[in-house]
Every structure is written in C-alpha cells, then in structure tokens.
C-alpha cells in the first residue's frame, strides 16, 4: 500500500493551513502541495463538508469550525485533563503562578490545559500552542523519556536550538543532559519559553509506566533559591502522583 494515501493527502491540506499565518488561496495550496487542481478541488470539498476547512470569497481557505468543536470535545473527554484539572487548580491556588498540562504531539509539545493563580504575567505556553520538544521544562521532561534514536534525530535536526537551551552541541551531550533530567524526575528552566519566568515540570505516566505528558508550574520570577526550588519540586511531584493515581479511574 502506498504510504501517501488519500486520507494522508487530505491531512496534508490541514497541516498546510495549520502552519500558515492566515488564509491560503487555491493557488497557494496548489503550489504548496503539488496536487492536480481536480484532486485539490475534490479534497477541499470533502474537508469543507466535514467542517474541517472553511473558505471565503477573495480570501481563500482556513481551518473550519469543526476544529473548535473537536477542541471542546477533547477537553470534555480527555481522561488526563479530567484527572489533572482539580489538582492543577489546587496547585496554583496554593503557590500562585500558572499550571500547565502538556502532551507530546509529533515532534512538538502542546499545552492542552492551563490553570492560572494570581499571576500578573502571561505564559507563552498557552493552551493549544505547540512548542519544540527541547525548549522549556514542560517539554524537556517529556523529551528526556524518548528513545535514544529519537533524541539523536531531533538533535541533528535542531542542533542550534539544543545548544541554545543548554542541551549540548552533540547528540551524545544531549542524551547525557536528558539522562540527568530523567533520573532526577523533574526539570527547571528559566526564560526558555517566556522571558523572565521560571518553569518547573514533572513527567506524567500512565498505568503501564509510559510518559504521556507533563505537569508544570510557571512562576513569574527568576529561579528560586535552592530550598524554595526543592519545596516546589516536591509539591509538583506530589501533584503529578495524584494525577497518575487518578488516571485509571478516569479512563473509560
């Protein structure tokens, strides 16, 4: 069977629209995808009828309203969000700042839920916004648990980014830095996702022990002193443990 099947080709249209800064014209889609015009028309008609793509005369195509509906349904149905929401609310009520729940998505990390305390700042890790796997504590604790082959590939593709955030200039250095994060069970970064703030994150595992995401606390200040940092780490890991123990009960 061919790797690029009809559903895969239609998904490429959604990928192109997702990565664009705004509407894309038919000509831009044709140039970006290389499909014949008849094929492109047919796929756009199918996606439009499903509500996944919308169009406006003279403007072009963009993601459709069904995307918003799917987002709403995900927030209602995702057992990880259901398990994490009350725990994260309690965390920011006690500690302030912003709590984030993140999942891996392809080679990125996506914030799927956010809880705000009395925070006077705005996190760049907003819900629905994808970030690189190597930038920020919420992402790096997930990256630290990926297979070595995946880390090698990502480091080769994003060597400058890995070096910029202190993960070394080689694949071996990146694996060693991530091994330390994996062993200690948490990570802390300063200003990697949002300038002037500190992020502390812990991984979240399912019943089989596989890392399915991360929970993090973003503080609107520079890195706390060691004693305060360790207290916050223990609080965050305690919250992660509650979420993990709740997951089997929340799962269908």
> Are residue 123 and residue 198 in the same domain, yes or no?
yes
- Is 39 among the domain residues? yes
Confidence band, pLDDT 50/70/90 cuts, at residue 74: confident
Q: What's the pLDDT at 247?
A: 83
> Are residue 161 and residue 213 in the same domain, yes or no?
yes
Number of independent structural domains in the chain: 2
Confidence band, pLDDT 50/70/90 cuts, at residue 59: confident
Alpha-carbon distance values, 203 to 78, 184, 209, 243 (Å): 17, 11, 11, 11
**pLDDT above 70: percentage of residues in the chain:** 94
Q: What's the pLDDT at 252?
A: 43
Q: Strand 198-205 relative to strand 211-219: parallel, antiparallel, unpaired?
A: antiparallel
What mean pLDDT is predicted for residues 51-68? 90
More confident residue, 138 or 195: 138
Give the end of a domain, one of 36, 67, 98: 67
> Are residue 134 and residue 181 in the same domain, yes or no?
yes
Q: What's the pLDDT at 1?
A: 34
- Is 96 among the domain residues? yes
- Is 103 among the domain residues? yes
What mean pLDDT is predicted for residues 43-68? 91
> Are residue 156 and residue 90 in the same domain, yes or no?
yes
d(CA 191, CA 189): 7
> Are residue 33 and residue 136 in the same domain, yes or no?
no
What mean pLDDT is predicted for residues 208-220? 92
- Is 73 among the domain residues? no
SS3 of residue 42 by DSSP = helix
More confident residue, 220 or 138: 138
- Is 86 among the domain residues? yes
What mean pLDDT is predicted for residues 152-176? 96
Write out the residue range of the structural domain in which residue 59 sits. Answer: 6-67
d(CA 13, CA 92): 39
- Mean pLDDT value across the chain: 89
- Copy the structure tokens of residue 4: 């690029």
83-96: pLDDT as tens digits: 999 999 999 999 98
Query: Which ranges constitute the DSSP H helices of the chain?
Result: 6-19, 26-33, 37-49, 66-77, 79-95, 137-143, 148-157, 159-164, 171-184, 226-250
| Residues whose CB is less than 8 angstroms from the CB of residue 45 and which lie 6 or more positions away in sequence, other chains included | none
Tell me, what CATH number does 38's domain have?
Answer: 1.10.10.10
What mean pLDDT is predicted for residues 195-210? 91
Q: What's the pLDDT at 119?
A: 66
Give the end of a domain, one of 42, 67, 92: 67
Give the end of a domain, one of 16, 34, 67: 67
> Are residue 137 and residue 26 in the same domain, yes or no?
no
Phi, psi for residue 205 in degrees, rounded to 5: -115, 150
Confidence band, pLDDT 50/70/90 cuts, at residue 48: very high
- Is 111 among the domain residues? yes
Confidence band, pLDDT 50/70/90 cuts, at residue 110: very high
- Is 72 among the domain residues? no
DSSP 58: T
Tell me, what CATH number does 174's domain have?
Answer: 3.30.450.40
> Are residue 28 and residue 129 in the same domain, yes or no?
no
> Are residue 45 and residue 92 in the same domain, yes or no?
no
Confidence band, pLDDT 50/70/90 cuts, at residue 57: confident
Phi, psi for residue 73 in degrees, rounded to 5: -65, -40
> Are residue 43 and residue 97 in the same domain, yes or no?
no
**pLDDT above 90: percentage of residues in the chain:** 64
Q: Is 47 exposed, middle or buried (0-12, 13-18, 19+ CB in 10 A)?
A: buried
> Are residue 175 and residue 195 in the same domain, yes or no?
yes
5-19: pLDDT as tens digits: 688 889 999 989 988
- Copy the structure tokens of residue 203: 């991984």
DSSP 24: B
> Are residue 233 and residue 122 in the same domain, yes or no?
yes
- Is 1 among the domain residues? no
> Are residue 16 and residue 121 in the same domain, yes or no?
no
């Amino acid at each position: 069977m061919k790797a690029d099947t009809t559903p895969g080709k239609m998904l490429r249209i959604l990928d192109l629209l997702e990565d664009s800064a705004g509407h894309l014209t038919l000509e831009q889609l044709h140039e970006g995808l290389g499909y014949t015009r008849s094929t492109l028309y047919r796929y756009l008609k199918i996606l439009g009828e499903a509500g996944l793509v919308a169009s406006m005369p003279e403007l072009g195509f963009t993601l459709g309203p069904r995307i918003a509906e799917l987002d709403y349904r995900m927030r209602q149905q995702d057992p990880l969000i259901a398990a994490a929401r009350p725990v994260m609310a309690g965390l920011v009520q006690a500690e302030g700042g912003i709590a984030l729940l993140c999942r891996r998505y392809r080679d990125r990390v996506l914030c799927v839920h956010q809880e705000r305390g009395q925070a006077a700042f705005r996190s760049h890790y907003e819900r629905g916004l994808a970030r690189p796997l190597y930038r920020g504590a919420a992402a790096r604790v997930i990256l630290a648990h990926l297979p070595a082959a995946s880390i090698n590939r990502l480091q080769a593709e994003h060597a400058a980014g890995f070096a910029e955030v202190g993960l070394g200039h080689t694949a071996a250095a990146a694996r060693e830095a991530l091994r330390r994060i994996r062993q200690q069970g948490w990570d802390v970064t300063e200003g990697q996702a949002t300038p002037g703030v500190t992020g502390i994150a812990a991984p979240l595992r399912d019943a089989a022990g596989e890392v399915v995401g991360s929970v993090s606390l973003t503080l609107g200040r520079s890195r706390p002193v060691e004693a305060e940092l360790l207290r916050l780490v223990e609080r965050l890991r305690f919250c992660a443990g509650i979420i993990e123990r709740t997951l089997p009960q929340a799962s269908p």
